[in-house]
Amino acid sequence: MAQLKELFQDADWKAEKHVPVIEAPVKAKKQEPIPVTVTVGKEIPHPNTTEHHIRWIEVYFQPKGEKFPYQVGRFEFTAHGESVQGMNTSTVYTQPSVKLSFRTEKPGTILASSYCNIHGLWENSQELDVE
């Protein structure tokens, strides 16, 4: 039986349109808000059509030395150009990019995952030092 961890894909986001790109500082001060932007399709735009789109992005923080990560955000995208006239006939299409902030007292790892309705689960991570 497959395990969820085996289903996540990763790659260099500069060459792959499905990887969630994390933009966050590498250093932060204790208990100050840490701004995070996660975008799918930063260098190579993702189509985001009715047939091929990003459904969601999740962001986690794994404090160093702790067993489990904390979910700091989940974002669902629901406008993919569909309308009563048919596929890709709407003028509304979601761009899979989110901004959030969180606070922490510990260093650790920011993790992001995304789901493409055709190409599955993708992940990325970035270390965060806290002083």
Task: Point out the residues that are catalytic.
Answer: 16-18, 46, 52, 116, 119
How far, CA to CA in Å, does 82 sit from each of 29, 35, 87, 114? 44, 32, 5, 21
Query: How is residue 113 written in tokens?
Result: 């995952």
List 38's β-bridge partners, or say none.
22, 98
Length of the chain: 131
